[in-house]
């Protein structure tokens, strides 16, 4: 999958997720955050799914008859084949070989970025859990009431 297609697909997933989040803007923050988290997860999975599925190449516009190359005649005559020890195949040079190395490196850099960001999310969730266990809602309410009473009693 080339970088442009990957960018378009990921942008489409993120755009649809943000549109879904906007559609439920009157709901609770937890629902909106679940939608955004699922959107980020789906956007992170797009390259993995793209690498596992076959790609289809389609022309965007049909080629006109004036741009088509002229038809060539193909000779189908047979000639004697050289023995296998003498016959050597010329190395096939594909134009895409240089880009495959770059794509592999970019994919690993991208995946490491995803891993670091997911790790930061997990650390943030554990920090929130710790804060939730240290402070109970009743202790916060008592602290705010006592601070308000001190402020207005003086």
Q: Where do the domains of the chain lie?
A: 1-54, 108-154
Of the candidates 13, 94, 5, the one whose C-alpha atom is nearest the C-alpha of residue 51 is: 5
Q: What is the pLDDT of residue 66?
A: 63
* pLDDT in the model for residue 143: 62
Q: How many CB atoms lie within 10 A of CB 65?
A: 6
**pLDDT number for residue 4:** 79
Residue 154: partners with Cβ closer than 8 Å, 6 or more residues away: none
Are 36 and 20 spatial neighbours (Cβ–Cβ below 8 Å)? no
The per-residue pLDDT for 104 is 79
| Mean pLDDT (10-residue bins), the chain, 154 residues | 82 94 92 94 91 71 62 63 57 63 82 92 91 69 61 60
d(CA 55, CA 49): 11
What is the DSSP secondary-structure string of the chain?
--HHHHHHHHHHHHHHHHHHHHHTTTS-HHHHHHHHHHHHHHHHHHHHHHHHSPP----SSPPPTTTSPPP--------PPPPTTT--PPPP--TTHHHHHHHHHHHHHHHHHHHHHHHHHHHHHHHHHHHHHHS-HHHHHHHHHHHHHHHHH-
């Amino acid at each position: 999958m080339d970088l442009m297609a990957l960018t378009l697909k990921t942008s489409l997933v993120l755009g649809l997720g943000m549109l879904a989040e906007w559609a439920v803007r009157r709901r609770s923050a937890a629902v909106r955050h679940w939608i955004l988290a699922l959107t980020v997860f789906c956007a992170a999975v797009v390259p993995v799914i793209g690498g596992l599925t076959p790609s289809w190449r389609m022309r965007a516009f049909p080629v006109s008859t004036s741009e088509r190359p002229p038809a060539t005649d193909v000779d189908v005559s047979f000639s004697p084949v050289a023995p296998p020890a003498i016959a050597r195949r010329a190395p096939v040079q594909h134009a895409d070989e240089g880009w495959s190395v770059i794509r592999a490196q970019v994919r690993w850099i991208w995946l490491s970025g995803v891993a670091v960001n997911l790790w930061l999310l997990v650390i943030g969730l554990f920090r929130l859990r710790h804060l939730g266990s240290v402070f109970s809602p009743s202790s916060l309410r008592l602290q705010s009431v006592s601070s308000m009473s001190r402020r207005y009693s003086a």
